Amino acid sequence: MNGAPPHRALPLAPVSGGRREGDPPGRRRWAAIEDPLPLESGTGLPGVRLAYETWGQRAADGSNAVLVLHALTGDSHVAGPAGPGHPTPGWWDALVGPGRALDTDRWFVVAPNVLGGCRGSTGPSSPGPDGTPWGSRFPYLSVRDQVRAEAALADVLGIGRWAAVIGGSMGGMRALEWAVSRPERTGSLLVLAAPAASSADQIAWGSVQIGAIRSDPGWRGGDYHRASSGEGPHRGLGQARRIAHITYRSAPELDSRFGGGAQPGEEPAHGGRYRVESYLDHHADKLVHRFDAGSYVTLTEAMNGHDVGRGRGGIARALGRAELPALVAGVDSDRLYPLAQQERLAALLPGADAARTIASPCGHDGFLIETDQVGTLVRELLARAPLPRQTSSPYVT
């Protein structure tokens, strides 16, 4: 299934690891938004639904709402255990809850699954207008399209302005787009490990991952969703995940954890694997059971096209629109989105001071792993955020 030695028996993967209609809903809810949703390309996307989760209680006027935006293979499940409907535990579980950095006794936390995703929101594996999966018919999306969908979700929820918009990596791109395109609806901003525009190096890494998926015979031009289990583009998606995961971690960390040693019981000279290969295989195997290859392509294409300055007179001029309290932070060992990109971004944002540094040996994934440091940044940001307006009946469920 994924290029592993033949003696390794692996469980059969579904044709798509994305959520399917009829699967347990878990904590998520759904919102239908403007139909069709206008896209930056000039087309419209009909029948859009966004899946989302919430924690805490919304003030009657929505002024205590905080938007949290996930990275490429994340989803709306920021906090909570794995279980029916949620194949993985909350990806920032340590940050959300009473007394935590995102204190749900005070803040109403909202996390949508991104448009184009596969964990409940409309994407390539979702039913199209004719009831069959969109597949190859699913349109190109930009980060701006995804934020437009999130703004429509805010309208449905009655939130005129977020107290804060927070995101890392792909979520950081969307958070930044919120601040540039809708500063009046963005009370404050936290961008973690994300740039103002994707660089040639980042586009190159994304492009080879897309190529790995599209070169898999199981891709079927993007129309694999009605194939049988085990016949999807699993090799390509797994290879894309291996490539990505190398960029998510740092070289010193990989060397200190795995060195050049062989996986126990396997000898590379006889078809076995090195320990680091086993590690990458593990992450590839997990992803093909919980993610959709079409969503991976769609979201990676959107990230490759990320540029807040496009059509706005350049990056500096675009960022000048975001006159609001802002924090920008990067990971000191990040080789995918180097800290220098966050330093440039912070220097150009009117409401930001110097970029903060998250110290971690773990590379780009440090923004997910170093929750104590991230929590400190979140607390600082929310101390700068607009105070929730007081009403005679402050909270609604």
* Residues that are catalytic: 169, 334, 364
Q: How far is the C-alpha of 314 from the C-alpha of 337, rounded, in Å?
A: 20
Type of residue numbered 65: A
Maximal CA-CA distance, the chain: 73
Give dist(CA 130, CA 345) in Å, integer: 43
Residue 247 CA, distance from chain mean position: 16
User: How many residues would you count in the chain?
Assistant: 397
φ and ψ at 179, to 5 degrees? -65, -35
Question: What's the burial of 3, exposed, middle or buried (CB within 10 Å: 0-12/13-18/19+)?
Answer: exposed
Cα separation, 321 vs 24, in Å, equals: 42
Q: How many CA atoms lie within 13 A of 88 on its CB side?
A: 20
Report CA-CA distances (Å) from 67 to 81, 296, 368, 379: 20, 22, 17, 14
Distance CA 181, CA 163 (A): 16
Burial degree of 270 (CB within 10 A; 0-12, 13-18, 19+): exposed
For residue 390, which amino acid is it?
Q
Q: How far is CA 115 from CA 52, 72, 375, 388, in A?
A: 11, 11, 26, 28
Residue 235 tokens read as 């090799």
